[in-house]
């Protein structure tokens, strides 16, 4: 017989790239999702919750970067007798499931179908600092309308949403572009090679970082980047590159100016002209709704990585400065993006179903609000009823029940009550505002000791009791006055 191996204990570890969220972090996200859902709902969108699991065939291959193992999804094969089971996967976004849902239920759904969805998505990619393999998205999409009024509405709603969650006007901008304009530019350049087109798009995406001169180099022979590495160029002649540069530098102080520059950049391309017309219509609709360039602008440098966009694309950027890892100032950047994708439902049905939508990166938006000190979720712990006499647990439980029935967050200490100091340490760790104490003396006198832990913390901080001497840190109250006195003290602490 084989020698018996020592049983190994399992490791208490989240899998690589996953994390746990505690207390206030969870509450803050819940609050944000509720606020966003409120705005989406007011705009007429209906909630949809599909399962985390889809068939791989339904999901398709629409990830921004398809050059990864397993195409970037967590996938497995269903068990069946002939090793012939379906391949299933965790959804990597909320758009691919929506296309499946609409195709599956289209006879029962209104058209256009406005829906919102919120929840985690999963990416099977290399985790890194601040980069997780499960994160939340919060999407709104309109399926079945080819009218750019639908795109304009999504952009307006995105602006309203950012303000609703606490981003001030002026601290964000929704930038709009149109893929048809880009396609028009590629058309006048006479590019026919798809690989070269993709390279040009990738270069356009770098405009924000490398500027006009940098883009010229990257479209031509190549460029030495800041780290000293040489980046190969697309290999276009200066003349060929010109429409791209004209396009990228077409942003003007006014929408009219930008649109005029874009018309010049797309020359005689009819697809390009259609794109500029759509931008014009969106700008008019948004202006009519009161969404001016202080909130929504046309910006030709917006590309959006996903290949499936067919018309308007948009992106919400937070414009306030933060410090990067090296202490250098930079703007916070993108927190949401989307656009029109007219072919995703067609994959299933064969018939074109126009659609447009936006996805908000909830975790990034929470991080931004955290940096701005705008998360005001209440993190006060419960009132802690301490245990002086372990045989009187029922009495302490009675006090707690009374507090809870009055709507006050409260709990009895359930650890080993032997060491009273540990009970107060626990209350401290829980961020408790108040500890309640009842020993034998208080029981006999029909009273309770009330310890003001907020005041205690303040005194500990300033190391001077004098300034608080008019307010006692601990005092005795009649047992019968429990609720009224605790409510009064909580109010005083909050004020």
Subset of 158-177 contacting a copy of itself (CB under 8 A): 160
β-bridge pairing 172-178 and 296-298: parallel
**What pairs with residue 339 in β-bridges?**
313, 357
The verdict on 228 binding a copy of itself (CB under 8 A) reads no
Q: How far is the CB of 263 from a copy of itself (least distance, A)?
A: 21
Beta-carbon neighbour count of residue 479 at 10 Å?
15
Which one, 206 or 430, has the nearer CB to a copy of itself? 430
- C-beta separation of 88 from 80 below 8 A: no
| Local structure of 441: helix, strand or coil | helix
Which positions from 48 through 67 interact with a copy of itself, judged by CB under 8 A?
48-55, 57-58, 60
Determine the interface stretch with a copy of itself among 117-125, 173-181, 256-264, 445-453 (rule: CB under 8 A): 117-125
The verdict on 398 binding a copy of itself (CB under 8 A) reads yes
Determine the interface stretch with a copy of itself among 118-126, 200-208, 212-220, 304-312 (rule: CB under 8 A): 118-126
Interacting residue with a copy of itself among 168, 212, 238, 284 (CB under 8 A)? 284
Q: How far is the CB of 438 from a copy of itself (least distance, A)?
A: 14
Beta-carbon neighbour count of residue 284 at 10 Å?
12
- The structure tokens 């006692």 sit at 472
Determine the interface stretch with a copy of itself among 163-171, 316-324, 407-415, 433-441 (rule: CB under 8 A): 407-415
Helix H or strand E encompassing 461: helix 453-462
- The structure tokens 């691919």 sit at 96
For helices 194-205 and 179-189, give the axis angle rounded to 10 degrees.
Answer: 120
Interacting residue with a copy of itself among 66, 76, 170, 467 (CB under 8 A)? 76
Which one, 163 or 225, has the nearer CB to a copy of itself? 163
The verdict on 394 binding a copy of itself (CB under 8 A) reads yes
> Counting Cβ atoms within 10 Å, is residue 27 exposed (0-12), middle (13-18) or buried (19+)?
middle
Q: How far apart (Å, rounded) are the C-alpha atoms in residues 192 and 185?
A: 12
Tokens of 445: 């006198």
Which one, 122 or 207, has the nearer CB to a copy of itself? 122
What are the φ and ψ backbone dihedral angles of 477, each rounded to 5 degrees?
-130, 155
Which one, 25 or 205, has the nearer CB to a copy of itself? 25
Determine the interface stretch with a copy of itself among 110-118, 195-203, 226-234, 313-321 (rule: CB under 8 A): 110-118
Interacting residue with a copy of itself among 270, 401, 464, 465 (CB under 8 A)? 401
Which positions from 338 to 357 touch a copy of itself by CB under 8 A, shown as an x/- string?
---------xxxx-------
- 339 CB-side CA count, 13 A: 25
Q: How far is the CB of 473 from a copy of itself (least distance, A)?
A: 22
β-bridge pairing 434-437 and 410-412: unpaired
Q: How far apart (Å, rounded) are the C-alpha atoms in residues 203 and 216?
A: 9
Which positions from 408 to 447 touch a copy of itself by CB under 8 A, shown as an x/- string?
xxxxx-xx----------x--xx-----------------
- C-beta separation of 382 from 356 below 8 A: no
Q: How far is the CB of 475 from a copy of itself (least distance, A)?
A: 23
Which one, 22 or 128, has the nearer CB to a copy of itself? 22
């Amino acid at each position: 017989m084989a020698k018996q191996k020592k049983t190994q204990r399992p490791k208490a570890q989240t899998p690589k790239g996953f994390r746990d969220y505690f207390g206030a972090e969870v509450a803050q996200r819940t609050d944000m999702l509720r606020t966003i859902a409120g705005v989406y709902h007011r705009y007429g969108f209906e909630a949809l919750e599909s399962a985390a699991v889809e068939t791989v065939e339904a999901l398709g291959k629409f990830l921004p970067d398809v050059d990864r193992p397993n195409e970037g999804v967590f996938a497995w094969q269903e068990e069946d007798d002939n090793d012939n089971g379906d391949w299933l996967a965790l959804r990597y976004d909320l758009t691919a499931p929506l296309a499946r849902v609409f195709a599956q239920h289209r006879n029962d759904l209104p058209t256009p179908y406005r829906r919102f969805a919120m929840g985690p998505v999963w990416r099977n990619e290399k985790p890194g600092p601040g980069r997780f393999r499960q994160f939340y998205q919060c999407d709104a999409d309109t399926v079945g309308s080819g009218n750019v009024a639908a795109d304009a509405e999504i952009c307006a709603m995105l602006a309203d949403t950012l303000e609703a969650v606490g981003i001030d006007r002026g601290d964000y901008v929704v930038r709009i572009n149109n893929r048809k304009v880009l396609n028009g530019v590629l058309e006048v350049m006479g590019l026919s090679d798809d690989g070269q087109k993709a390279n040009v798009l990738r270069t356009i995406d770098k405009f924000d970082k490398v500027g006009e001169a940098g883009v010229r180099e990257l479209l031509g022979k190549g460029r030495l980047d800041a780290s000293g590495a040489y980046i190969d160029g697309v290999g276009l002649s200066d003349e060929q590159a010109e429409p791209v540069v004209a396009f990228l530098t077409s942003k003007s102080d006014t929408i009219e100016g930008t649109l005029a520059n874009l018309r010049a950049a797309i020359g005689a391309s009819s697809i390009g002209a259609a794109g500029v017309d759509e931008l014009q219509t969106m700008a008019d609709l948004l202006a009519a709704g009161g969404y001016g360039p202080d909130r929504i602008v046309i910006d030709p440098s917006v590309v959006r990585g996903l290949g499936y966009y067919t018309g308007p694309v948009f992106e919400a950027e937070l414009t306030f400065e933060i410090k990067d890892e090296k202490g250098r100032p930079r703007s916070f950047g993108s927190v949401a993006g989307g656009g029109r994708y007219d072919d995703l439902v067609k994959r299933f049905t064969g018939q074109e179903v126009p659609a447009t939508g936006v996805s908000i990166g909830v975790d990034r938006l929470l991080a931004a609000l955290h940096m701005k000190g705008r998360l005001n979720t209440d993190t006060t712990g419960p009132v802690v009823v301490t245990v002086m006499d372990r045989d009187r647990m029922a009495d302490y439980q009675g006090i707690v029940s009374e507090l809870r029935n009055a709507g006050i967050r409260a709990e009895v200490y359930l650890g080993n009550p032997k060491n009273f100091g540990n009970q107060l340490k626990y209350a401290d760790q829980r961020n408790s505002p108040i500890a309640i104490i009842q020993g034998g003396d208080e029981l006999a006198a029909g009273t309770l000791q009330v310890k003001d832990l907020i005041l205690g913390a303040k005194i500990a901080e300033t190391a001077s009791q004098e300034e608080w001497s008019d307010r006692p840190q601990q005092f005795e109250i009649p047992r019968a006055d429990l609720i009224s006195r605790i409510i009064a003290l909580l109010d005083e602490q909050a004020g």
